[in-house]
Amino acid sequence: MTSEYLLRMEHICKSFGVVKALDDVTFTVRPGTVHALVGENGAGKSTLMNVLFGIHQRDSGEIWLKDKTVCCANPHDALMHGISMVHQELDQVSERTVMENIWLGRYPARLMLVDHKKMYHDTKKIFESMGVDIDPKATVKNLPVSYRQMAEIAKAISYNSDIIVMDEPTSSLTEKEVDKLMQLMNIIRGQGRGIIFITHKLDEVKRIADDITIMRDGKRIWTGDVKEYDINQIVSLMVGREMDNLYPPKDNVPEETVLEVRNLKGMGKNAVKDVSFKLRKGEILGIAGLLGSRRTELVETIFGLRPIESGEILLNGKPIVNKSPQQAIKNGFALVTEERKFNGNFPGMSVLFNALITKFNRRGAYRNNLNLLSSKKMAKDAQWVIDTLRVKTPGSAIKMSKLSGGNQQKVIIGRWLLLNPDILLLDDPTRGIDVGAKYEIYQFIINLAKQGKSIIMISSDMSELFGVADRVMVMSNGYETGCLDRSELNQETIFKLSAQRL
């Protein structure tokens, strides 16, 4: 170990049963640098960082921090050694405030009591350094995902660590928030600290990283200067094959209008205020907007998760009211939610359970002649999801938590397709998913449109909207501010429409 490196992980191996998750991986971070760690879901990136952070114990290998070997028995050990981590899946106490989550386990005290005033001011100071405006006293469960993501980043920064691991920190952030995060990363880099940046957004890698390590199937494939390779070359090393395009060719043909929303207004403080649009059969309608634009609130209102104060929803020309998700499902709607962990996933249950959960309540589903659950019928549908969505799993009995993020998302999408919906609402469906799995999901979305399904797709990735959508509707502060045809799409126009009602 030399002073050239702030961190060095040498010959790290880790197996889970017969599966070798990490195979002789060496990884280094230089002082004052951003080191990008990239690869497909299941490549071993998060496992390697979990070993560093003490969540998993390595089978063999050594870890050096500065000039000393370290062995982190748990995350607390890692924090004490100067290693902090922003996890891909948010793990917060949703009923508590933002500041309580940030200082959890180390509340400032005064006269043996929690010093809430100091905690508030310390939290506010961190947010100011990040350039974000979040109320430290806000309850976490009431915040949008992007605010919660920023709170997790603030928590990692609050430890003043030598190494900060950021696992998909921009997955739910808009372009404006990403800019702020990049500025913050530059400040941290300038302090001589090291950042490990895990992301599937390779344009961000080229923008901010100094070094890059590419992993595939638990092995380190290449490490070097990020400037040495372009994005297509990086993708090829990640997936082990040439990929000429990040998006499939679009050959769906939208037809007649199937859904019309007129002057929709929701109830409550964070509701949509005035949204009107039309959705055609076989169309992919993208929805863009900045933080607080209420894109998620829109699809939740349409799906019956939020009440409607006024306005109309017409399905095939006839007014409908989805007073509940159950009613929405009966009307042919399906919703893939924004955040897998909190409202889309049962990680401790099997792939089979997760794939079939939406269909269990259907009368007669999976029942045999004796009105008992039929294992054969359930296994058939679970295998259909696995085969159709190309889910990488040893079988349907394995726990959902054992799958990579991309494969979990495929199962969640597949569960809704078993119901054969006419209108599919997708809220950031490729969040935290690698480029190879993204391509497969894009292709599947386009194929559904070709089959006559109608799709509304929210995305925080503008290039994704340009690559997949037929039209893009822009929202600002709960209002619909414009709808652009594919030929009209450009970043400047979308940014202007996104800021129109701020």
Structure tokens belonging to residue 123? 């939290």
Q: How confident is the model at residue 161 (pLDDT cuts 50, 70, 90)?
A: confident
Strands ordered across the beta sheet of 211-216? 83-86, 163-167, 194-198, 34-38, 211-216, 219-225
Q: How confident is the model at residue 1 (pLDDT cuts 50, 70, 90)?
A: very low
Share of the chain above pLDDT 70, in %: 97
Q: How confident is the model at residue 270 (pLDDT cuts 50, 70, 90)?
A: confident
What gap in Å lies between CA 115 and CA 228, rounded to an integer?
Answer: 50
**Mean confidence (pLDDT) of the chain:** 88
Q: How confident is the model at residue 329 (pLDDT cuts 50, 70, 90)?
A: very high
Residue type, 276: S
Least confident of 277-281, 295-299, 369-373: 369-373
pLDDT of residue 2: 46
Task: Say whether pLDDT at 384 is over 60.
Answer: yes
133 to 123, 243, 361: CA distances (angstroms) = 11, 40, 43
Structure tokens belonging to residue 47? 């496992």
Element (H, E) at 81: none
CA 24 to chain centre: 29
Q: Are 403 and 392 in contact (CB under 8 A)?
A: yes
Task: Say whether pLDDT at 146 is over 80.
Answer: no
What gap in Å lies between CA 318 and CA 260, rounded to an integer?
Answer: 9
Torsion of CA 150, 152, 155, 160, to 10 degrees: -80
What gap in Å lies between CA 45 and CA 60, rounded to an integer?
Answer: 17
Task: Say whether pLDDT at 253 is over 60.
Answer: yes
| Mean pLDDT across 386-406 | 86
| Mean pLDDT across 373-382 | 88
Q: How confident is the model at residue 342 (pLDDT cuts 50, 70, 90)?
A: low
Least confident of 102-106, 170-174, 287-291: 170-174
Task: Say whether pLDDT at 245 is over 80.
Answer: no
What gap in Å lies between CA 39 and CA 238, rounded to an integer?
Answer: 5
373 or 38, which is more confident? 38
Task: Say whether pLDDT at 368 is over 50.
Answer: yes
Q: How confident is the model at residue 148 (pLDDT cuts 50, 70, 90)?
A: confident
pLDDT of residue 209: 95
| Mean pLDDT across 73-92 | 86
- Give the domains, in start order, of the chain with CATH numbers: 7-239 (3.40.50.300), 245-332+422-502 (3.40.50.300), 341-420 (no CATH)
